């Protein structure tokens, strides 16, 4: 199931640590047709007054499948009916909060997602999942103090049982935002036991390690994240490059950027970044070539002035002057 906490800061990768590998592979269901979805919504509404526990569970499973195929509104309608019966529980309310927050975010001033979570906590004050989603929601809203308070609850209320599977990951992100990096790393490591299959965890851990100046370990975490998803891969490449530069591994950084450029030949920033690293390697010809490609893609004052400096350094004053003039024209242009 997709959850709201995915936004911090799904993959096909699985590790042998998961007991799920010891059971049979779950069945793969075909997507519902629009007609089937409409029938399920109608059936849920009609069965509200005589719903059984089995019905409630089946409707929850159906809502999950709808949501996973992008039918959040219909999934919410089905679960909203279940929530009006005696079979409502913490997990169903958390599902409904997930669907509402993913669909609307904070656009609804009544904040229905948070209301569902508050109701979940009323039903079960030890619902770690509800506290976790509240922490994540506050974190995204920028209310770090409230996020930390909710996170405190998310990792402690379930004891002696383990907290919700994303509780440690969300807490690691919050502590990193507060620059409490040693604590953040501790929770990121704990999160690996339950959420090690999530790319966002390894991105968070990479950022923490980078902040702790453990650049080699940070690169390993970013690479793991990149191996698990195509989302934000360009961003992770730039993070890897930055960590490699910090270690003076400039040739390795060039390799990373070259791979990014092969995948996306129109990435202006990749050409600019590679040019900067080539200068460190005293490859002036290559650096000028990269800036020239960047200028072909996107002429900017900054790139012209940077190339002018390189021309100056290589004794090509005429070309340097020409670039300075081009930069001035762009700077003075009203368009």
Mean pLDDT of 139-161: 94
| Total tally of structural domains belonging to the chain | 2
> Could you tell me if residue 300 is inside a domain?
yes
Domain boundary among 89, 124, 159: 124
**pTM > 0.75: yes or no:** yes
User: Domain limits at 308?
Assistant: 252-335
Q: Among candidates 99, 165, 83, 102, which has minimal Cα distance to 132?
A: 165
pLDDT in tens, 125-145: 999 999 999 999 999 999 999
The answer to whether the beta carbons of residues 307 and 291 sit under 8 Å apart is: yes
Can you give the CATH number for the domain in which 280 is found? 1.25.40.10
Please give the pLDDT value at position 3: 43
Q: pLDDT band for 110, please (50, 70, 90 cuts).
A: low
Question: Where a domain ends, among 124, 143, 164?
Answer: 124
Confidence band, pLDDT 50/70/90 cuts, at residue 113: confident
Query: What digits encode the pLDDT tens for the residues 170-212?
Result: 999 999 999 999 999 999 999 999 999 999 999 999 999 999 9
Please tell me the predicted confidence (pLDDT) of residue 108: 59
pLDDT at 1: 44
- The chain-wide mean pLDDT, for the chain, equals 88
In a domain, 17, yes or no: no
Express each pLDDT in 7-47 by its tens digit: 444 333 323 222 223 333 444 567 889 999 999 999 999 99
* pLDDT tens-place string over residues 76-109: 999 999 999 999 999 999 999 988 887 655 555 6
Q: Is 8 within 8 Å of 173 (Cβ atoms)?
A: yes
Structural domain ending residue among the three candidates 103, 124, 145:
124
């Amino acid at each position: 199931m997709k959850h709201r906490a995915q936004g911090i800061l799904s993959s096909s990768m699985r590790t042998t640590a998961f007991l799920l590998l010891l059971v049979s592979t779950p069945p793969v269901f075909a997507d519902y047709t629009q007609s089937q979805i409409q029938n399920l919504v109608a059936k849920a509404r009609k069965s509200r007054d005589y719903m059984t526990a089995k019905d409630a569970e089946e409707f929850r499973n159906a809502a999950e499948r709808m949501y996973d195929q992008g039918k959040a509104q219909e999934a919410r309608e089905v679960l909203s009916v279940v929530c009006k019966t005696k079979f409502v529980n913490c997990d169903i309310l958390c599902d409904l909060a997930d669907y509402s927050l993913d669909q609307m975010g904070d656009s609804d001033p009544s904040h229905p997602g948070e209301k569902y979570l508050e109701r979940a906590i009323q039903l079960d004050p030890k619902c770690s999942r509800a506290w976790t989603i509240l922490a994540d929601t506050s974190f995204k809203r920028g209310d770090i103090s409230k996020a930390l308070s909710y996170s405190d609850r998310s990792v402690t209320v379930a004891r002696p049982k383990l907290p919700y599977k994303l509780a440690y990951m969300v807490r690691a992100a919050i502590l990193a935002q507060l620059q409490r990096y040693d604590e953040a790393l501790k929770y990121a490591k704990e999160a690996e036991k339950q959420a090690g299959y999530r790319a966002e965890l390894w991105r968070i851990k990479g950022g923490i390690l980078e902040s702790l100046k453990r650049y080699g370990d940070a690169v390993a975490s970013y690479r793991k994240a990149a191996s698990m998803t195509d989302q934000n891969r360009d961003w992770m490449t730039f993070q890897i490059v930055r960590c490699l530069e910090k270690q003076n591994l400039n040739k390795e950084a060039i390799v990373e950027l070259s791979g990014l450029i092969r995948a996306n030949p129109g990435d202006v920033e990749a050409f600019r970044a590679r040019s900067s690293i080539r200068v460190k390697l005293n490859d002036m010809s290559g650096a000028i070539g990269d800036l020239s490609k960047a200028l072909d893609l996107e002429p900017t004052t900054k790139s012209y002035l940077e190339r002018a400096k390189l021309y100056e350094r290589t004794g090509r004053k005429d070309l340097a002057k020409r670039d300075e003039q081009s930069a001035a024209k762009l700077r003075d242009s009203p368009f």
